[in-house]
Amino acid sequence: MDLATPRKDKATLNEMERPKLGILDGPIAPTLLRLALPTVIVLVVQTAVGVAETYFISFLGTEALAGVTLVFPILMLMQMMSNGGIGGGVSSAIARSIGANRRSDADALVWHSVVLATAFGLVFSIAAILLEPLLYRAMGATGSVLSAALTYSGIAFAGSVPIWITALLSAALRGAGNVKVPAIVIVGGAIIMLALSPPLIFGWGPIPPLGVAGGGVAVVAYYLVAAIVLAFYLRSARSPLKLNIVPLERRLFKDILGVGLPSAIGTVQVNLTVTLVTAAVGHFGTDAIAGFGIASRLDYLQIPIIFGLGTAIVTMVGINMGANQFDRARRIAWIGAGVAFVVTQAIGTAAAFFPNIWMALFTTDSAVQKMGALYLQMVAPAYGAVGLGLALYFASQGTRRVLLPVLAGTVRMIVAAFIGWSAVMFYGADIGTLFQIVAVGSVIYGVLTASAVLPRRFFSRARS
């Protein structure tokens, strides 16, 4: 389509204008919440399914549960990189193309996303084969625990490609403003996975008991079906985007990876921060690490809210940036950040004042409760700063300028993880001081991200 020509044919209006309703004009907050809600539901369902599968595997014994537990952080890292990292780059690129009425680019980006998903999926599969035996041994796995970890990991990461394809095709549709189809497909697949897990793990009728391997097969089957359904939808007339094989272009890969790669680095920083803080807490004994583990679960329960809101911010900011509506893009970012701040700060304030209500849900051990309560009293008041920073980080994906927010995450990692760990290991800091350092890192992250995104020039024409 000639961008200089104001006329648009009927097909273009039907396929490209629908995602823009309420995005390029009208009230901002209701549209943000409408786009965010399906993604929040998806993440809540996925979290529940993960908990349910862990519950099923627990019946196989402590060794099996311990082995699968070792795999989950690595699987979560891949899912975070595919959804919030490279997936953020896909959503941003497609949203900006739609805002600029570059239909051919928006469609071509879908195929480029499939190519990237295949490449990244193969990298993770090969890395699992070559490196994970060494990694699990380094994490202390031996004997039957190591065998369970390798069995589950080998099957789950054999399905890395469909996991990546599901994530990037879902991100493509969200970038076009279509959040319902990914939600329906992923929730439907999760329900099927929940039904498949027990028969595959324990056996049922003609299905032999596969044990830990059954859990891995259920995961792969879930993502394989989801990837196929999303691909068929993107080939249909109802889709706002079209999945077709097209010539590969360097500029389109650059458009995705220019946002996606720095964002993926940000996900690695988050995981490394958690790992080092956990290592520092472990220095204070079993009660401390148990209390910290229970209390910090509240941190993770906010992820569905922030990620759901964040994906809506990426779409709305990206489309408005593509349409050269820079002031509206800035308003969207700050309204979204305000919502994120209010929600997360309310959770943090309640947790800080009433920490034992949360801790009592998981343990009656007074020593463990005391350690968890201390963490919530120190760190939870900074939840709002993290929510604010993460929302503005998602807005930066929509503008294609993620470097400064990612660097803010680097500063948070240095303060919370490296300085906190060093203070404990080399200077004898107590656990309260460690938690204070973690809280300071969170506040610094929010302030630095807000300072980077606040200037009006941040929301200007992005470099091509």
421-435 residue pLDDT tens: 888 888 888 999 999
Query: Cα(56)–Cα(114) distance, rounded to whole angstroms?
Result: 33
What share of the chain in percent tops pLDDT 70?
93
Q: Average model confidence (pLDDT) for the chain?
A: 84
Q: Is the pLDDT of residue 4 over 60?
A: no
Higher per-residue confidence, 90 vs 277: 90
Q: Is the pLDDT of residue 203 over 60?
A: yes
Q: What is the distance of C-alpha 405 from the center of its chain?
A: 16
Residues facing residue 204 across a β-bridge: 207
pLDDT grade for 204, boundaries at 50, 70 and 90: confident
Tokens 């060093």 belong to: 422
9-13, 52-56, 376-380: range with lowest mean pLDDT: 9-13
Asked if residues 388 and 449 have their Cβ atoms less than 8 Å apart, the reply is: yes
The predicted model gives 101-107 an average pLDDT of: 89
The pLDDT assigned to 187 comes to 83
Burial of 62 (0-12, 13-18, 19+ CB in 10 A): exposed
Higher per-residue confidence, 299 vs 391: 391
pLDDT grade for 140, boundaries at 50, 70 and 90: low
The pLDDT assigned to 7 comes to 37
The predicted model gives 187-208 an average pLDDT of: 83
Q: Is the pLDDT of residue 3 over 50?
A: no
What share of the chain in percent tops pLDDT 90?
27
Asked if residues 97 and 106 have their Cβ atoms less than 8 Å apart, the reply is: yes
C-alpha distances (whole Å) from 281 to each of 175, 296, 423 are 39, 12, 11
**Listed residue (302, 27, 23) closest to 175, CA to CA:** 23
pLDDT grade for 122, boundaries at 50, 70 and 90: very high
The predicted model gives 153-166 an average pLDDT of: 90
**Listed residue (177, 169, 212, 159) closest to 96, CA to CA:** 177
Q: What is the distance of C-alpha 52 from the center of its chain?
A: 20
The predicted model gives 75-92 an average pLDDT of: 84
Q: Is the pLDDT of residue 339 over 80?
A: yes
Query: Cα(153)–Cα(148) distance, rounded to whole angstroms?
Result: 8
C-alpha distances (whole Å) from 122 to each of 78, 82, 181, 215 are 12, 13, 26, 21
